[in-house]
Amino acid sequence: MKLIGATASPYVRKVRIVMAEKKLDYQFVQENVWADDTHISASNPLGKVPCLVMEGGEAVFDSRVIVEYLDTLSPVGKLIPSQGRERAEVKTWEALADGVMDAGILARLEATWVHRKDSERSQAWIDRQLLKVNDGLKSMSQGLGDKPYCSGIHLSLSDIAVGCALGWLEFRFPEIAWRSEYPNLGKLLDKLMQRPSFADTKPA
């Protein structure tokens, strides 16, 4: 399998962490989707990473579809419960964490995208997205409470998705003081960073 991605992308990181936790082999091909000469649309018509390219050349995207597929490949370290309420709970954690990243990325692009003039940038839009980030963090913190992991006592995709969102916020929005406001999230990220899967994929 070939994974097309970038080391700064939190969605790509989610996939790489799942690959590592499940001990799956893959080739990591780095692609800058923001460069004028990117070839990403040859694999993913949406022009986004991550994109998984299978042995036969078929492409699988987006990150949620990829990680769900990867979890079926090996019984090692099951990350998504197979059915019922528990499965819906883990997928909802993932949707929340991905939603925080989506909002953060929209805010960042509004402020920094090189093809937008300063007069075209909207502070109201940035504020709207940052409110989602803050509300998402609050909800994560409340959901985690004093449990060791988001969905109970074992690592699951919930923690991986939340860890990627927190790690990306620390990387791109160091001014958001989520560690002091939500110490339980900081504790969770510090614990996750002890795992090689997290430590080896720090956003860069």
Is 167 among the residues that bind ligand GSH (CB under 6 A)? no
Under the binding rule (CB under 6 A), the answer on residue 49 touching ligand GSH is yes
Q: Does 158 bind ligand GSH (CB under 6 A)?
A: no
Residue 110 tokens read as 């509004």
Q: Which residues ranging from 86 to 145 are in contact with ligand GSH (CB under 6 A)?
A: 98
Minimum distance from residue 172 beta carbon to ligand GSH (Å): 10
What is the C-alpha separation between 33 and 30, in angstroms, rounded? 9
197 binds ligand GSH (CB under 6 A): no
Does position 63 interact with ligand GSH (CB under 6 A)? The reply is yes
Residue whose CB is less far from ligand GSH, 11 or 198: 11
**If binding is defined by CB under 6 A, does position 68 make contact with ligand GSH?**
no
**Site size with ligand GSH, rule: CB under 6 A:** 11
What value, to the nearest 5°, has the Cα angle with vertex 72 and ends 188 and 41?
85
**DSSP labels for 32-77?**
-TTSTT--GGGT-TT--S-EEE-TTS-EE-SHHHHHHHHHHH-STT
Contact with ligand GSH (CB under 6 A) among 4, 19, 20, 50: 50
Give the closest residue to 9 by CA, choosing from 27, 26, 32, 42. 32
Based on CB atoms, which residue is closest to ligand GSH, 158 or 182? 158
Q: Are 68 and 60 in contact (CB under 8 A)?
A: no
Whose CB is nearest to ligand GSH? Answer: 62
Nearer to ligand GSH, 69 or 187 (CB): 69
**Would you call 200 helix, strand, or coil by DSSP?**
coil
SS3 149: strand
Does residue 62 interact with ligand GSH by CB under 6 A? yes
Binding of residue 33 to ligand GSH (CB under 6 A): yes
Q: What is the dihedral of CA 53, 159, 189, 62, to 10 degrees?
A: 30
Q: Does 183 bind ligand GSH (CB under 6 A)?
A: no
Q: CA end-to-end span of the chain, whole Å?
A: 23
Residue 109 C-beta: closest distance to ligand GSH, Å: 8
Strand ranges in the chain using DSSP code E only, listed in sequence order: 2-5, 27-30, 51-53, 59-60
Does position 48 interact with ligand GSH (CB under 6 A)? The reply is yes
Contacts to ligand GSH by CB under 6 A: 9, 11, 33, 47-50, 62-64, 98
